[in-house]
Amino acid sequence: MILQPIVDLVEICARKGVQDVVLSPGSRCAPLTIAFARHPKLRVRTVPDERSAAFIGLGLAQQTRRPVVLVCTSGTAAYNYAPAVAEAFYQNIPLLVLTADRPPEWIDQLDGQTIRQSHIYGKHVKSSLDFPVDTTHPDAQWHANRLVNEALNEALAFPQGPVHLNIPLREPFYPEPDEEIKFNDKVRVIEEMPSAYGLPEEAWQNLRAELSKFSRILVVAGQGQKCPNTYEAVQLFCRASGAVFVTDVISNLQIEGETINYHDVFLGAKHLHAEAALQPDLLITFHQSLISKNMKLFLRKQQGLQHWHVQPAGFVADTFQFLTRIIRTEPKDFFLKLNQGETSPQVKPAFTQSWHSLNFKGKSILEQFQKNSPFSEFQACHTVLRNLPDNSLLHLANSMSVRYANLIGVADKENVEVFANRGTSGIDGSTSTAVGAALSTDNLVTLLTGDMAFLYDRNALWHNYLPQNFRVVVLNNHGGGIFRMIEGPRNQPELRPFFETEQRQTAQKTAEDMGLNYLKVTDAAGLAEALNTFFDVSAGPQLLEVETSSPENYAIFDQYRKAVQEIKL
């Protein structure tokens, strides 16, 4: 018999806007599985590997901004959710994580699939709750209802994030053949109205007055969703004041000719870090992390400047080590309000011109190098990113893929939205996250990944829901090529066996096993030909493998870095 509070849990999820459920098979979680599977308004998918399942759920929630429910059985299954839960926590992605558990009296009693699951995710969830073990008493039923409502409200409250609800369940787990599961449309739902974060008018007046004291203002956007209204608000401020707007590829705010997109290129010239003409006296940041290490190093070297971070609520990181003010409002509202004053700050034209001049030089060197250099994975990334279809999504795996993309940008494709797991920056769920995204949209979704990240997450494709709009580009240099790019490991005799971990596999067998059309290229001509049909919307899921040599990739990329050192203001 399935307990009514479990059935009510499912109904509350549906009533509070949940649309997608990703579950992994198990016996202890059977009551949850059956209740979710029988609800008429929920999309329920089964993914056997819990680690992949959780990242697929993250990809779904990343797109829809609705909480996605994860369901797994007891024991180490719950631990396999941990990487995706941590990523969701740092990316502010709403997940409701439901882990079935043994009753508490059986913990540590050598019973099967039994571990200490309560609060298993530690500080990487917004909240961790324990469902009542016995729900026969009316107070226990009230408690169960309250916990589910609280969990979903917390997942959606700003900043959004994962919430864990651990659910001890006793046998029997399965309903009788003639037993009917009844969803109660009168179940209690606790709604939470969102707050409007803002500042009093006096605070705005003070901010405008302070802004007038600065003459070298740099605005930097971290990882965020594509939002034309936010972009327009920032640009209005920059046009009025002369402030410089710097955008990483994952900011989704890059516009060719207007924003500084090639900072990761020209700041690779380390001598520019001490260039007085580039040094701001005020840094304004919003959204989340930056990819560009060059930008982070440049900012950390600055002395005596102010750093304002704009964020409505939640923890604020001191990434550049000189945070001076946290402004609790939406970024869009912040920049619009600043434009409503009688005066605006006047940035020195030389400061603005210096940044835009170097942006132009950075782009020129990058494009010239790509045009004249031998074929490599760097050039392959450039070709792929310059040929992305309109209105598509780009997912970037961690390691070199996301770094190449940040150098190259997608500025010429302003309607391409870019995603990457930069909350924890792990390679473990890149493919799964992209699959989740593809399940949430009809638009084409392209994953740019390396061989290590792809092979590590092959179970992302081990299920019955392979999206027809899914495309994968695998950069296969047969090892962890990033370690050859980093000065420390590349100078060690242990480079090949212990850092690069050389491997001989290709993606062909995986593509064939999982139902993706497989293409392989080894040169520029082959890549250009493959791309003629790769993005065809009627072709079904496709995998394009670009095979290169790690030593050759390093030699070519080293030539690029030497060319960058010639950039001067």
Residues across the chain: 569
For 471, residues 6+ apart whose C-beta sits below 8 A from its C-beta are 444, 445, 446, 447, 534, 535, 541, 542, 543, 544
Among 526, 522, 530, residue whose Cα is nearest residue 552: 522
Cis peptide preceding 228, ω within 30 of 0: no
Q: Where are the domains of the chain?
A: 4-168, 201-359, 373-564
The verdict on domain 373-564 having CATH code 3.40.50.970 is yes
Amino acid, single-letter form, for residue 43: R
Which residue(s) pair with 276 in the sheet? none
Give φ, ψ of 247 to 5 degrees: -135, 120
Q: Convert the pLDDT of each residue in 141-161 to its tens digit.
A: 999 999 999 999 999 999 999
Q: CB within 8 A of 254, min separation 6: which ones?
A: 247, 261, 409, 410, 411, 414
Give the tokens for residue 399.
């390691």
Residue 20 has what pLDDT? 98
Pairwise CA distance, residues 293 & 314, whole Å? 24
47-56 pLDDT tens trace: 999 999 999 9
Superfamily, domain 201-359: TPP-binding domain (3.40.50.1220)
For residue 406, the tally of other CB atoms under 10 A from its CB is 25
Specify the pairing of strand 393-396 against strand 306-310: unpaired
For residue 190 the two structure tokens come to 């606790």
Question: Could you report the per-residue pLDDT of 243-272, keeping only the tens digit for each?
Answer: 999 999 999 999 988 999 999 999 999 999
Question: Which H or E element spans position 542?
Answer: strand 542-547
Mean pLDDT of 173-182: 83
Helix, strand, coil percent content, the chain, rounded in steps of 5: 40, 15, 45
Distances (CA, A) of 443 to 277, 469, 531: 43, 7, 17
User: HEC profile for 229-247?
Assistant: HHHHHHHHHHHHHCCEEEE
Q: What is the CA radius of gyration of the chain?
A: 25
Q: Is the bond leading into 280 cis (omega within 30 degrees of zero)?
A: no
Q: Could you give the percent of the chain with pLDDT greater than 90? A: 84
User: Which tens digit of pLDDT belongs to each residue from 216-251?
Assistant: 999 999 999 999 999 999 999 999 999 999 999 999
pLDDT digits (tens, 9 = 90+) for 426-473: 999 999 999 999 999 999 999 999 999 999 999 999 999 999 999 999
pLDDT in tens, 489-515: 666 776 667 666 777 889 999 999 999
Burial pattern 338-363, b for ≥16 Cβ within 10 A else e, equals: beebeebbebeeebbebbeebbebbb
CATH number of the structural domain 4-168: 3.40.50.970
Which residue type sits at 86?
A
pLDDT of residue 3: 86
Could you check whether 4-168 and 201-359 share the same CATH topology? yes
Is 11:183 a contact under the CB 8 Å cutoff? yes
Neighbours of 416 (CB within 10 A): 23
Question: How many CA atoms lie within 13 Å of 362's alpha carbon, on the beta-carbon side?
Answer: 23
The Cβ of residue 532 has, within 10 Å, a number of other Cβ atoms equal to: 9
Q: What is the pLDDT of residue 2?
A: 73
* Cα→Cα distances 546→384, 428, 467, Å: 11, 21, 22
264-294 pLDDT, tens per residue?
999 999 999 999 999 999 999 999 999 999 9
Give me 510's structure tokens.
């995986």
The pTM of this model reads: 0.94
Q: Per-residue pLDDT averaged across 397-412, rounded? A: 91
Distance, CA of 250 to CA of 418 (rounded, Å)? 6
Q: Looking at residue 464, what is its pLDDT?
A: 95
Task: Check whether 483 has a pLDDT greater than 80.
Answer: no
Closest CA relative to residue 507, chosen from 496, 522, 520, 497: 520
